[in-house]
Structure 1
């Protein structure tokens, strides 16, 4: 028997006995999971396993059904390449601040329920686990984006997992026939069920990679942050994680869709495909279903029906409560970090005084006069500045309000933040601290081929990572060299400033503006990004 064969036999024996597996060679680590043995790669003292199946391909009869655990395999399965993205419009286009590293996903397929793992190659004890849930408006995205590379974070002593989940009509289609078929178990939340299945996989397999299944943090950004909050609300996810981080999602004001409304949306999409029965719909090629609800930048062309809303559904099973509401009950009472970036969802700099006044009156009704008195708009320049300040103040007021109520109901600390460091650009225009700009800093992937990051950016990256890693390890972001970050307090209107001005700060631009927006919300007004 060769030395390599002897090593492999030893590895398989360890796997059979449930022991964590270490690398068989400096470049080929092997791990024994519940379903079989994986061979990964070693990169910078981190063991990496890409394209690991956590569920069967949801195709044919499994389309629009709860995920089924991946079948076992014999021999050694290579885990070298990322799996396909879940079915979506592809390729994604770069636009605005979103250069290729933010949008380039692998070619999509319905066979997409894969995850990726990074873990320290050398460890003396079990390490904390973070599970990253990608954004993409519940209609796109992938756990394989280069800005989600877990190598750097894993080198800091944690296990990093990124996942795919079904999106768009494959992940969030509700329909009366599907509801009847589910028999009260779930309807329209296949993407959320995928996330729960991935978290169960982590519980079953984390130890094999050196991870601590009792110390799991779920994290996500944008739609991924909304998903994190949905999982906190879901009784089916209870016990699968110990803490949560929701980046740019808790103050959006975008609610889950009531089941009846989601079913109506599904009937519209059903009709658009031309299918007559659910059996026919399951038999259609995925491109036919995807094309029934095309994505438009801006408003749809004249004569084109509006896009059908597809996102988490209040089905009473997977999701019994609307995670977007500050007072919604929670199934998992865990510590949470949540917040926003300073320049998310910003209006054009060309807003005129008349346009600003008209939009405020249309949106805020009886509260409009009070708000207009607080946001100067005598000139177009003033109006443009006020329009941007109002947008930021709205989502930060909503976030603070959500955080305070969530802490009260869950009985656990919620740490809120505003990230203020602008992302650099090679040439104008700049987009400031735009939606998702914090992610490369957090993951430690400041690729200077994409953007002219400098030493200051590296310092900001270390700042974010210090707080996040402390929270992942202990449930408290403090412990590093940075300023103390206190949880939200109803009696102290503060959040944590992160980025260029680290330290406690007001959530909005003035206390009068904060009070006016709180009054509007308390009287039933909706604080949202749209």
Structure 2
């Protein structure tokens, strides 16, 4: 009898434990927000709960195409947030963009949240991440942006979908006349802003601290993050910013007049009849509009100084201190561009180098040659790579952190990412073995490392050294998101940007002087 009693007691204890665990999971899996009730998905191996496909704004379809986003409506019952929603309208771009979205649609304004399962009285810091893709592709469902690992490290992580291409960035005189601010364009940036405001209003329900939101992104996402720090409605909700390769400073923004002119040309190219109205453009099905705009060469459109989201040039907004004066962590990769972009099929020689520079800078090619100098073949390759990297995205990134440091009071930190990513598996590279450059880290190579997502991206032949670099790089980012300072135990001390030093991130990280790089950037921006 005693043995039977013991068995009953053990079974009762197991049942009680299981019931308690189930109750705790139910508590964190079901969240009440302004729009209604949301059910998440528990990831037991990481003790994280994911909430995928939450609408943060109304669908921008029909007459809502090319309008600022409106707040999402309430729903009845429970929203089962167990799967990613639609990605925004786009064409295929790069093979390493591995989407998990449930299709593609103009109805795409959704966000995804990964939250630690264990809730504490102290709210968790929040990371809001904007994807890259040149403002023409990308999605919050991509493997490399997965937020589970960051959440397992105590950071509530959010990825945001925003409109792209012709849907997200077309300006047009008729659209400007419709708006209360006499401007147009920037709908993708306004989407991001709406998502940021949604996060500030709702994230506490998921365990996040609305007063500790860091925004971040890579490439177009980094340009977006820098732009958000200059927009009045975003500024109150930003408490830190991370920029990986890119900023709104420089060639990544157009005047309203330029953008409207481009919009008129786009309408003429896309509409085949006499009616060139916005109504006619809105009447086109989304896939047909995308197809026609692409065929006409209007796949990529840039952000605009529209008078609403951006009220002045980025430089002027910094000079007049109309920006989020918050800690900044930004940097670039060592091979953002390649020497082949300058030389093409020509042999790498001093003569061909000067000829190529003369085509780009007819009046100043000798000044450029002095800034980006080289004698040997390898030196010329390096000089050309540096120039093409700077022209593409590196100079604009430096201009951002330099302006934020010059006109602000918050701390800032700059990096050069120099760990070479391994080869892509042949099955993801048209069955061909991928040749890897030994000249540095290519554009976007750092994403999986800093977000702790090597395991979620099966494309590359990851090795032990890659995981070591990821552990170190991610810890810097985690520290910054939590405290505004990337430094911590067992890490090489990272000096502030105002010391004119940067951290070089690779297997054996080191600190290097920025003075020569800054001379290069200043010389380039003056031409």
Q: 1:84 Cα deviation (Å)?
A: 0.3
Unaligned runs of 5+ in 1: 1-20, 296-304, 526-530
In structure 1, what is the equivalent of residue 228 of structure 2?
231
Partner of 1:388, secondary structure, is helix
In structure 2, what is the equivalent of residue 493 of structure 1?
500
8 A Cα contact 2:130 2:224, kept in partner: yes
Q: 1:392 Cα deviation (Å)?
A: 4.4
8 A Cα contact 1:250 1:324, kept in partner: no
Which of 330, 334, 342 lines up with 2:326 in the alignment? 334
In structure 1, what is the equivalent of residue 338 of structure 2?
346
Partner of 1:212, secondary structure, is strand
Q: Aligned partners of 1:294 and 1:147: how far apart in 2?
A: 26
Deviation track 1:462-511 (CA, whole Å, cap 9, x = no partner) reads 1111111111111111123211112212xx43212112342321347xx3
Provide closer, same or farther for how the CA distance between residues 471 and 264 of structure 1 changes in structure 2, counting only shifts above 3 A.
same
Deviation track 1:250-304 (CA, whole Å, cap 9, x = no partner) reads 3883231100110011111111221532222211111222123217xxxxxxxxx
Which of 102, 107, 110 lines up with 2:103 in the alignment? 107
Deviation track 1:112-142 (CA, whole Å, cap 9, x = no partner) reads 0000000000131210000000111111110
> Which stretch shows the higher mean deviation, 393-402 or 197-206?
393-402
> Which stretch shows the higher mean deviation, 36-45 or 357-366?
357-366
Q: 1:391 Cα deviation (Å)?
A: 3.3
Deviation track 1:432-464 (CA, whole Å, cap 9, x = no partner) reads 411111111122121374222122111111111
In structure 2, what is the equivalent of residue 321 of structure 1?
312
In structure 1, what is the equivalent of residue 29 of structure 2?
29
Q: Aligned partners of 1:445 and 1:482: how far apart in 2?
A: 20
Q: Which entry has the higher C-alpha Rg, 1 or 2?
A: 2
Is 1:419 paired with 2:417? yes
In structure 2, what is the equivalent of residue 15 of structure 1?
none
Q: Aligned partners of 1:159 and 1:424: how far apart in 2?
A: 29
TM-score (normalizing by structure 2): 0.85
Q: Aligned partners of 1:182 and 1:22: how far apart in 2?
A: 48
- Superposed counterparts of 1:97-176, under 5 Å: 99-101=96-98, 106-124=102-120, 125-176=122-173
Q: Aligned partners of 1:401 and 1:38: how far apart in 2?
A: 42
Q: 1:356 Cα deviation (Å)?
A: 2.0
In structure 2, what is the equivalent of residue 288 of structure 1?
288
TM-score (normalizing by structure 1): 0.84
Structure with the larger helix share: 2
Aligned length: 481
Is 1:59 paired with 2:64? no
- Superposed counterparts of 1:95-494, under 5 Å: 99-101=96-98, 106-124=102-120, 125-184=122-181, 186-250=183-247, 253-274=250-271, 275-294=275-294, 306-307=297-298, 309-323=300-314, 329-348=321-340, 351-352=346-347, 353=349, 354-373=351-370, 375=372, 382-392=379-389, 396=394, 399-425=397-423, 427-431=433-437, 432-447=440-455, 449-489=458-498, 492-494=499-501
Q: Aligned partners of 1:323 and 1:515: how far apart in 2?
A: 21
8 A Cα contact 1:416 1:495, kept in partner: yes
> Which stretch shows the higher mean deviation, 116-125 or 353-362?
353-362
Q: 1:186 Cα deviation (Å)?
A: 4.7
RMSD: 2.6
